[in-house]
Amino acid sequence: MEELIRKCWQINKAFQIGVQAIDEELKTIIHIADDNEPIMVVEAQKRMLVEMQKELRQANKDSFCYQTDSFQLSYLAVPINEDKRYKGMVVVGPFLNERVTDHIIWNVIKENNLDNNWLKPLETYYKTLPLLAHTYLAIGDLIVNIVMNPHVQAHIIASNNSGEQYRLDVEPEDYDQGGIEIKQRYEAEKKLLYYIEIGDKENAMKAMLDHHTGDFLYRVPGNPLRARKNITFSGNTMYRIAAGRGGVEPQYLHAISEKFALKIESAVAMSELNTIDVSMIDEYCEAVKHFAIIGYSPVVKKALMYINLHFNDSINLQSVADEIGFNRTYLAKKFKAETNLSVIDYIQRKRIDEAKFLIDLGRLSTTEIGLQVGFSSYNYFCKVFKDITGLTTTEYKSRNHSEKEAQA
């Protein structure tokens, strides 16, 4: 027990995060926190502890559980085992996986049926929490090793700046095969993010195939879909940052990121998440290509951003011009000169791109897809789809199905 408590303090000091140890009856052994959690957050946490314990009881002893609650607060839990028996868990959190905006807080208030006057208190509370983003996966791995292994007392050796060199008592071991694979995967990740940053879609797709090798589904025991969603969420965050470095404006990046976050969370199959991965890289690269490398004029940039965010609404040349504050004739001329497409042609292409994505997911009928991407008429949707792709929707579905079978 003494060693467990020492490890909890070690985790708290190392990561500046709340830690608690809980026994198998969900009674607190130690709780290290700032005690500034609103009461409804504490109640939500209690419900989550029950869920995490259930997952850990049936999981591999070297696993950790990750969950996010309705307040967008995330937690990691590692089992405490004694003679291969579950005896409790160490829970780390809460922490955040993304920066909290007013929009996120309003969604939290709505989802938890809170009064609107909770906006400021929640905003203040969120500012006290650590932001881990995708690093929570590596931290979870470290915490498993801290909790599962005996504590070794470290000895500090200070340099006296005299020029005397100190020799390591233990030389670093060579990489084993697992280490080599991890290094290769992170090299591929760097390449992927670089290609997104410069808008190179073709090479980004190649790097994605290398980066996605490896099985991380063990990271959320008993729930491989949740694990895969977490990885895809992390990808969304990294791609957004890369595109931001490539020059895409923050408000547009936020809109792309939020759109894909909703798609990821609503996915019901691994195949959907694979499709979303490809679509994310495609869209972030296109954003860099359109808004940073080519260097469109301000009027065309504004029009492109507005269309890309609202193509599924009832929009046309006049409504776009009114929204961005430019003369309709001037917008039409500049847009055609810089994109080689009319405003309407561009809108239709965006709608068909989204329709292809939804067809690939395979969850909606053709009629539902046409309505969802902005067409008021099923027949008109089918006509535009054929004009742009050269295929009917049925032919596109058939070809897509054949390609998936060939890849399998």
Q: Which one-letter amino acid corresponds to residue 171? A: E
Residue 132 contacts by C-beta under 8 Å, 6 or more apart in sequence?
74, 95, 96, 97, 139
pLDDT digits (tens, 9 = 90+) for 249-274: 777 888 888 888 888 888 888 778 88
Top-level CATH class of 2-148?
alpha beta
CB atoms under 10 Å from CB of 309, counted, come to 15
DSSP 129: S
**How far apart are the C-alpha atoms of 206 and 196, rounded to whole Å?**
12
Comparing 21-25, 53-57, 146-150, which segment has the lowest mean pLDDT? 146-150
Tell me: pLDDT of 171 over 70. Answer: no
Tell me: pLDDT of 295 over 70. Answer: no
Distance of CA 120 to the CA centre of its chain: 26
Cα 223–Cα 21–Cα 10 angle in degrees, nearest 5: 105
Burial of 91 (0-12, 13-18, 19+ CB in 10 A): buried
Tell me: pLDDT of 326 over 90. Answer: yes
Question: What per-residue confidence (pLDDT) applies to 175?
Answer: 41
Tell me: pLDDT of 80 over 60. Answer: yes
Tell me: pLDDT of 216 over 80. Answer: no
**How far apart are the C-alpha atoms of 7 and 195, rounded to whole Å?**
41
Tell me: pLDDT of 400 over 90. Answer: no
What mean pLDDT, rounded, does the chain reach? 82
The b-or-e profile of 29-62 (16+ CB within 10 A means b, else e) is ebeeeeeebeeebeebbeebbeebbebbeebeee
CB atoms under 10 Å from CB of 188, counted, come to 18
Structure tokens at 215: 């099985």
Residue 199 dihedral angles phi and psi, to the nearest 5°: 75, 25
Cα 37–Cα 66–Cα 121 angle in degrees, nearest 5: 20
Contact of 278 with 205, CB cutoff 8 Å: yes
**How far apart are the C-alpha atoms of 249 and 251, rounded to whole Å?**
6
pLDDT class for 169, splitting at 50, 70, 90? very low
User: Mean pLDDT across the stretch 54-73?
Assistant: 85
Cα 188–Cα 192–Cα 194 angle in degrees, nearest 5: 115
State whether residue 131 is helix, strand or coil.
strand
Percent of the chain at pLDDT exceeding 90: 19
- Domain extent listing, the chain: 2-148, 179-295
Element at 304 (helix H, strand E) = helix 298-310
Tell me: pLDDT of 143 over 70. Answer: yes
Cα 154–Cα 75–Cα 245 angle in degrees, nearest 5: 90
Tell me: pLDDT of 213 over 70. Answer: no
Tell me: pLDDT of 62 over 90. Answer: no
CA distances from 325 to 280, 295, 316, 332 (A): 30, 20, 14, 13
Query: Taking the model in full, what pTM does it have?
Result: 0.47
Q: Which one-letter amino acid corresponds to residue 161? A: N
What angle, 0 to 180 degrees and rounded to 10, lies between the N-to-C axes of helices 2-15 and 136-148? 160
CB atoms under 10 Å from CB of 190, counted, come to 11
Residue 56 dihedral angles phi and psi, to the nearest 5°: -70, -30
Residue 178 dihedral angles phi and psi, to the nearest 5°: -60, -40
pLDDT class for 172, splitting at 50, 70, 90? very low
In 63-111, which ranges are continuous DSSP H helix?
A: 102-111
Contact of 359 with 392, CB cutoff 8 Å: no
Q: Where are the beta strands (DSSP E) in 33-117?
A: 65-68, 74-82, 85-95
DSSP 116: G
Comparing 115-124, 323-332, 395-404, which segment has the lowest mean pLDDT? 395-404
